[in-house]
């Protein structure tokens, strides 16, 4: 790889966005086109094309993936370290030595418990692993968590409780095609991961029935056969009602339950209290629709048991998980799947559609506050001893579990919530907290009041803009690393072009900081991955038999892939579950209302989500012209009946007000939303920042904030009178 623009012969890689990790080909862009015109100096050296031989996307790409190479342009990214000038208070360019020296000086000047690290679900496995080691052995702090806590933590906790293992999908994506009934709960993949829709379409062409559960009629619901539209925050009651019907109408697979599960009696006893008419009052879902749904799932499951084409799947995503009772809600859906005999059967199962690019691998290897590599528990003495030996430290030197993401942020800056464990210095790697965190007004205040904030990122995100030091990171096509997609498939993304001369990889940044802080870490991704393998050996997420070399040869490797399963494990639970007795566990859960219900002062419910052309906090996609043109700004979606009652017209600026803040955006009238609910996408900062409104109330098990429902009121802006609620 040579040349000023980082020339390349291209090659296979994977999209840097969602957890599908679609296969792509990087095609070299010549410096001079066929007409002799020179490419702009800052133009990317490659373009992206879908890779047809990769089974997840089969050549298909969404607009985000197709435009991924544009962010490699120097025009859109950070190309030099920045430090905040003490005289002018403005960020200015700096050398790497100046920036790293300042970071090391500031971090070492504080007690380790006053220092924290915040990672991201887009980091490679190597980075996520190394970030955990950096925090615990170099900084010696317990304060590390990551933005995946805001994404997959409820589904992960529920699967661990029920199955003894958390892997988003316990089967390959292509298995979806074999199902004849699919229930998508709180999932909108037509906008969040469009290429996966070809698998749902193929299933429907073969006779499958696709059912969606969502408070909005989304693009996914438009492609489904049926749409159940519950009140936000009532999915748990709906799942209990469906289990009630399965029991009452003799649809339970009694042999499966007796042979492969435990705890059914307690779950069944709770479900008896959720008769259909009660559930309809709680959720708004008609009794007839509940009957139809559970019979469709049960019939498909019964067919596959008899050897006929069949199979049923229940797949969840953030809509049902991002609640203060999200873990219990997911367990209620798993209970239904177990009662119908789905997990471990061909064409059947429960799975969670992981969101972020490395949302799966990112939570397995140590950047989560309570975990060590291999999905080991940090409070397990045997796990501490194993990993400490790999790291060459005494197990007693490893800090214990730290605060979860939202709890960590609440301690920042020494405010009233911080208490004696106040955090004064924060290192953020690959996360844009000013847009993505719940209660974002308060989060911003806390981050601004820190004694020191350093951000490593590809772009000058809103969080980077308020940092004391900004470290520009290399991008996906400029560095080698592995990702683990939603199927548990481990993938190699090799470096295809030379990094911009002003940036460094995150592994290099950690290694150079470690050296300044008296430690030593490798910056070589192959070495780091090999060490990760040794650290994960024997753990739940065992990567010890995987190597860069095997992945480079094109081997398809799914974890666990270790001494007992060197060929990998594409399908889990076929023979037993990784629990002490080999059985899946029914978890008895009961319905409770959301942490914040509508009242006279805040009479409506807000729910949040994504749109097709933007991604997560928008830090990357809002810089791509084609994506910005398709989705240029935030909006408030409300039902025409509600708009009429409030005197709101299409396009009018509307303020949405919660107990935590205000967001304002143009009104978008749509019959896709319930009349008692409004929707905002969460990709934008500023006035349209949806997370200024959201409730940081936490799920007691997963510590997931309640992003998906809170109480709000609506007001017209521009001097108009407030809307009457």
Cα 110–510–507 angle (5° rounding)?
Answer: 165
Rounded-to-integer distance, Cα 415 and Cα 438, Å: 17
Domains of the chain: residue spans and CATH: 11-76 (3.30.200.210), 82-150+358-473+505-540 (3.40.50.740), 168-355 (3.40.228.10), 604-716 (2.40.40.20)
3 pLDDT above the threshold of 90: no
**Side-chain half-sphere CA neighbours of 719 within 13 A:** 0
pLDDT tens digits, one per residue of 311-336: 999 999 999 999 999 999 999 999 99
Give the torsion sign (CA, 174, 226, 318, 475).
Answer: positive
For 358-419, the DSSP string reads TTTGGGTSS-STTEETTTEETT-HHHHHHHHHHHTS-GGGS------HHHHHHTBTT-TTTG
For the chain, give the longest Cα–Cα distance: 76
Is it the case that residue 724 has pLDDT exceeding 60?
no
Of the pLDDT bands very low, low, confident and very high (cuts 50, 70, 90), residue 5 is: very low
Please state, in angstroms and as integers, the Cα–Cα distance from residue 409 to each residue in 115, 166, 372, 400, 447, following that order: 12, 26, 21, 18, 8
Output the CA angle 164-536-364, nearest 5 degrees.
55
pLDDT digits (tens, 9 = 90+) for 374-402: 999 999 999 999 999 999 999 999 999 99
Three-class secondary structure of residue 238 per DSSP: helix
* DSSP labels, 331-360: HHHHHHHHHTT-TTSTT-EEEE---STTTT
Task: Classify burial at 522, counting beta carbons within 10 Å of its beta carbon; exposed 0-12, middle 13-18, buried 19 or more.
Answer: middle
Residue 36 pLDDT greater than 90, yes or no = no
pTM of the model: 0.95
pLDDT tens digits, one per residue of 7-35: 445 689 999 999 999 999 999 888 766 67
User: What are the two backbone dihedrals, phi and then psi, of residue 247, each rounded to the nearest 5 degrees?
Assistant: -70, -50
Integer-rounded Cα radius of gyration of the chain: 25
Q: What is the pLDDT of residue 32?
A: 67
Per residue in 194-214, pLDDT (tens digit) is 999 999 999 999 999 999 999
What percent of the chain is predicted at pLDDT more than 90?
A: 92
**pLDDT beyond 50 at 363:** yes
Burial class of residue 175 in the structure, from the number of CB atoms within 10 Å of its CB (0-12 exposed, 13-18 middle, 19+ buried): buried
């Amino acid at each position: 790889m040579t040349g000023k623009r980082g020339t390349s012969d291209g090659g296979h890689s994977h999209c840097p966005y969602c957890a599908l990790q679609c296969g792509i080909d990087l095609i070299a862009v010549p410096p001079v086109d066929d007409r002799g015109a020179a490419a702009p100096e800052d133009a990317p050296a490659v373009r992206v094309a879908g890779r047809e031989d990769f089974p997840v996307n089969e050549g298909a790409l969404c607009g985000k993936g197709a435009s991924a190479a544009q962010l490699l342009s120097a025009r859109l990214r950070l190309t030099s370290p920045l430090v905040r000038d003490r005289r002018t208070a403005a960020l200015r360019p700096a050398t790497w030595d100046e920036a790293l020296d300042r970071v090391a000086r500031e971090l070492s000047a504080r007690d380790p418990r006053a220092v924290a690290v915040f990672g991201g679900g887009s980091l490679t496995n190597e980075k996520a692993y190394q970030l955990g080691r950096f925090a615990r052995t170099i900084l010696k702090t317990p304060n590390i968590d990551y933005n995946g806590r805001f994404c997959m933590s409820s589904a992960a906790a529920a699967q661990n409780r029920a199955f003894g293992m958390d892997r988003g999908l316990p089967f390959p994506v292509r298995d979806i095609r074999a199902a004849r009934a699919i229930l998508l709960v709180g999932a909108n993949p037509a906008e969040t991961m469009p290429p996966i829709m070809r698998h749902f379409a193929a299933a429907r062409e073969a006779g499958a029935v696709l059912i969606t559960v969502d408070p909005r009629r989304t693009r996914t619901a438009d492609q489904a056969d049926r749409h159940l539209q519950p009140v936000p925050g009532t999915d748990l009651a709906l799942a209990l009602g469906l289990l009630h019907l399965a029991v009452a109408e003799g649809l339970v697979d009694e042999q499966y339950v007796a042979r492969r599960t435990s705890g059914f009696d307690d779950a069944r006893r709770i479900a008896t209290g959720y008769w259909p008419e009660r559930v309809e009052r709680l959720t708004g879902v008609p009794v007839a629709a509940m009957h139809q749904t559970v019979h469709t799932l049960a019939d498909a499951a019964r067919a596959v048991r008899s050897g006929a084409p069949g199979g049923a799947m229940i797949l969840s995503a953030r809509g049902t998980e991002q609640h203060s009772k999200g873990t219990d809600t997911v367990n209620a859906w798993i209970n239904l799947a177990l009662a119908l005999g789905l997990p471990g059967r061909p064409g059947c199962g429960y799975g969670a559609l992981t969101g972020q690019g490395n949302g799966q691998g990112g939570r397995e290897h140590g950047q989560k506050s309570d975990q060590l590599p291999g999905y080991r528990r940090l409070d397990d003495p045997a796990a501490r001893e194993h990993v400490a030996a790999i790291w060459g430290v005494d197990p007693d030197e490893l800090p214990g579990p730290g605060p979860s993401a939202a709890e960590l942020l609440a301690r920042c800056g020494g405010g009233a919530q911080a208490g004696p464990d106040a955090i004064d210095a924060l290192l953020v790697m690959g996360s844009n907290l000013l847009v993505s965190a719940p209660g974002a007004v308060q989060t911003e205040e806390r981050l601004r009041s820190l004694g020191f904030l350093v951000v490593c990122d590809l772009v000058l995100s809103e969080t980077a803009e308020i940092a004391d030091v900004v470290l520009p990171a290399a991008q996906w096509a400029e560095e080698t690393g592995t990702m683990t997609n939603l199927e548990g498939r481990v993938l190699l993304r090799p470096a295809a072009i030379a990094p911009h001369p002003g940036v460094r990889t995150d592994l290099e940044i950690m290694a150079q900081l470690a050296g300044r802080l008296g430690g030593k870490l490798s910056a070589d991704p192959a070495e780091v991955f090999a060490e990760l393998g040794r650290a994960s050996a024997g753990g739940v997420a065992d990567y010890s038999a995987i190597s860069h070399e095997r992945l480079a040869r094109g081997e398809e490797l799914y974890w666990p892939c270790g001494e007992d399963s060197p060929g990998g494990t594409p399908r889990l639970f076929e023979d037993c579950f990784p629990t002490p007795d080999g059985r899946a566990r029914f978890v008895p859960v009961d319905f409770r209302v959301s942490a914040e219900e509508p009242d006279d002062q805040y009479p409506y419910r807000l729910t949040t989500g994504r749109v097709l052309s933007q991604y997560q906090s928008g830090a990357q996609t809002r810089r791509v012209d084609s994506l910005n043109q398709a989705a240029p700004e935030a909006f408030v979606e409300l039902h025409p009946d509600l708009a009429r009652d409030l005197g709101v017209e299409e396009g009018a600026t509307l303020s949405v007000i919660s107990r935590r803040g205000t967001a304002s955006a143009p009104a978008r009238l749509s019959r896709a939303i319930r009349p008692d609910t409004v929707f905002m996408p969460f990709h934008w900062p500023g006035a349209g920042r949806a997370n200024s409104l959201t409730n940081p109330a936490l799920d007691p098990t997963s510590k997931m904030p309640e992003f998906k429902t809170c109480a709000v009121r609506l007001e017209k802006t521009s001097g108009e009178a407030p809307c009457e609620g």
